[in-house]
Amino acid sequence: MIYCGETIQPAFSPANRGLNYGDGLFETLRVHVGELPLWPRHLARLREGAGRLGITLPDADFLEARIDGMIAGEEAGVLKLLVTRGDGGRGYAAAAAMEPVWQLSLHPLPPAQTSLRLGWCETRLAIQPRLAGIKHCNRLEQVLARAEIDRVGCDEGLMRDGEGRVVGATAANLLAFRQGRWLTPPVERCGVAGVLRGVLLEAGLVDVAEMTVADVETAEALALCNAVRGILQVGQLGERRFRSHPDLYGLQMALSMRYPMFSTPGESA
Amino acid sequence: MIYCGETIQPAFSPANRGLNYGDGLFETLRVHVGELPLWPRHLARLREGAGRLGITLPDADFLEARIDGMIAGEEAGVLKLLVTRGDGGRGYAAAAAMEPVWQLSLHPLPPAQTSLRLGWCETRLAIQPRLAGIKHCNRLEQVLARAEIDRVGCDEGLMRDGEGRVVGATAANLLAFRQGRWLTPPVERCGVAGVLRGVLLEAGLVDVAEMTVADVETAEALALCNAVRGILQVGQLGERRFRSHPDLYGLQMALSMRYPMFSTPGESA
């Protein structure tokens, strides 16, 4: 369903700024028994992004009513919300107050994966603090990195920034277990502040720490996390293999107690 | 007109990758008496971008026939070609061979401007060699920079990279006259390799040189160039005013002799 403000539109305009410049934001949310358990956190990130980019969001009550209508009765799935700045403008210049053009779509959960095989991506994430953390639609770096990973037959890829610091995977945050603590890289220079990463940080289950390639490769255990798939075990990174680790099981359990939708790795992963 | 491969489509799909990730390329071309005098150069840049991003381009003969039909009889205008990778895929992952979804649209020439007032943008261009030079659709940096310029009432803004080097304007390349030579910054780390910049470099009228903010502010003359508006005089940058400079006139004349469409600044600027 596509809307301009609160009006249904049959399609996106050729002048849509999302289409022309990636001038928009998106959220990908896990649906669980007709609800979006992480909705407040997704909305908070969306508002942060809209504030930084100067994009007007649809009215929250209107948006939530449309979402409720769409996910009612859905046992499990993925809801994608895409909010573009709107249509038109003069080149890169937008009009002062544009009506946002946005879309809701429902998708099946991705297939289950129990242990991921990762590789390092050659494509780096450019350092851009103004766009870091938020979930905007300028994703060519991730598209290029993902293509690398598909070529070598891995499940996901780890990305570094332009100066060599580890940032995360193409579509998930990285968790590394080192010296008795779960750590995840900062996302102030580049990368996305994942909603599930936020849950784990606020619960005190994970801490932020800078990481080099060597730090990651010598970790005791690795995992990826995102708001759709929960916490996924990493079984291999390059040549290094990682065994099941009791502390990873502990972390998954702690998350499941807060969000039961992540309690069945077979389905959720 | 929107096409998927060689088939007309009524609209862009909600799953279009340009819309979702800015996963595409574009060219903005000056139409002159039913022709596109710079077409071969635009096509070459498009091919460079398609090669780097792994995007399939529409068949060149088919594309050129559609363009001819659209611009026949048009005295002057701007043709925009947008080529997205296509529709769908699994998240950032695209299918191996996607049919490109692309669009041609015709627009009026922008209003004439004889002397531009510029400001410095706070928004920096992130250093990303894999995306530098090509005209891809990840343009949030330019959108943010353009909004800054609109807020302060300037005509255009100059952008620096993340390390402080001057790169160019939001939608044009920069030309600075220093010590008897016209210079333009390199675009290997970020920025766009403008088609008109390419014309001027190949003609030996301009040379590439790194530039600091001080280099630009102390230049004898400044100009911007792009393939739609030609060479535009800069009259002011911040507090510094620039007078008409005989060497700028000389550069504009040299260009007009090669491309007469740029000979009438009143119309073309």
Q: Which of A225, A182, A228 is nearest to A205 (CA)?
A: A182
The dihedrals phi and psi of B75, each to the nearest 5 degrees, come to: -70, -50
- Paired strand residues for A157: A119
Q: Do A93 and B150 touch (CB under 8 A)?
A: yes
Domain end (from A107, A131, A149): A107
Domain end (from A80, A107, A134): A107
Is A81 found in the same domain as A29? Answer: yes
Alpha-carbon Rg for chain A, nearest whole angstrom, is 19
Q: What's the one-letter identity of residue B151?
A: R
Q: Do B26 and A20 touch (CB under 8 A)?
A: yes
Which of the residues A103, A138, A163, A170 would you substitute to probe the B interface, choosing the one with the greatest number of B C-beta atoms within 10 Å? A138
Is A128 found in the same domain as A28? Answer: no
pTM comes to 0.96
Q: Do B92 and A137 touch (CB under 8 A)?
A: no
Rounded to the nearest angstrom, the gap between the alpha carbon of residue A62 and the centroid of all alpha carbons in its chain is 24
Q: What's the one-letter identity of residue B217?
A: E
Residue numbers of chain A with a pLDDT score lower than 50: 266-269
What is the distance between the alpha carbons of residues B196 and B37, in angstroms, rounded to a whole number?
A: 11
CB atoms near residue A139 (< 10 Å): 24
Domain end (from A107, A124, A154): A107
pLDDT in tens, chain B (269 residues): 999 999 999 999 999 999 999 999 999 999 999 999 999 999 999 999 999 999 999 999 999 999 999 999 999 999 999 999 999 998 999 988 899 999 999 999 998 888 999 999 999 999 999 999 999 999 999 999 999 999 999 999 999 999 999 999 999 999 999 999 999 999 999 999 999 999 999 999 999 999 999 999 999 999 999 999 999 999 999 999 999 899 999 999 999 999 999 986 544 33
Alpha-carbon Rg for chain B, nearest whole angstrom, is 19
Is B158 found in the same domain as B80? Answer: no
Cα dist from A156 to A210, B61, B102, whole Å: 20, 38, 29
Q: How far is A147 from chain B (nearest CA, A)?
A: 6
Q: How far is B179 from chain A (nearest CA, A)?
A: 33
What is the distance between the alpha carbons of residues A206 and B201, in angstroms, rounded to a whole number?
A: 53
Is B149 found in the same domain as B57? Answer: no
Is B137 found in the same domain as B256? Answer: yes
Range of B81's domain?
2-107
Q: How far is A84 from chain B (nearest CA, A)?
A: 9
Chain A residue with minimum CA distance to B25: A20
Q: Are B208 and B201 in contact (CB under 8 A)?
A: yes
Q: Which residues of B touch A104 (CB under 8 A)?
A: none
In CATH, what number is assigned to the domain containing residue A234?
A: 3.20.10.10
